[in-house]
Amino acid sequence: MLYFFPLMILVFWLFFIRPQAKKQKQQKSFIDNLQKGDKVVTIAGIHGRISKVNEDGTINLEISPGLPITIEKSSISMEWTNQINKPAAATSEKK
């Protein structure tokens, strides 16, 4: 019984806390590396291209030619953005 609780804590840390911290670190790195011209998708599903990165933690996202909106950087979905950019990279490598 004495070894059961530390073992449970270790398993909980290995399977829940550590992967969550790693994902948060990747998300922060992704958000910090956003640049003008990147194609992104927001967590609400809005597709667009970054037209300006502001110093206050927001970006101007052009969702249609001449139609920019201002959104928080944290509202960009890393998973969905990687999904839309992956096919473009794969087709360019084949050529």
CA nearest to 86, candidates 27, 44, 39: 39
pLDDT above 70: percentage of residues in the chain? 92
pLDDT band at 38 (very low <50, low <70, confident <90, very high): very high
Q: State whether 76 and 56 are in the same domain.
A: yes
Measuring CA to CA, how many Å separate 94 from each of 50, 85, 89? Answer: 27, 15, 9
Return mean pLDDT, the chain. 88
Same domain, 61 and 94: yes
| In a shared domain, residues 13 and 58 | no
Q: Which domain holds residue 2?
A: 1-33
Please say if the pLDDT value at position 54 is more than 80.
Answer: yes
Q: ∠32-40-69 over CA atoms, to 5°?
A: 95
Find residue 41's DSSP bridge partners.
47
Same domain membership, residue 48 and residue 28: no
Residue type, 83: Q
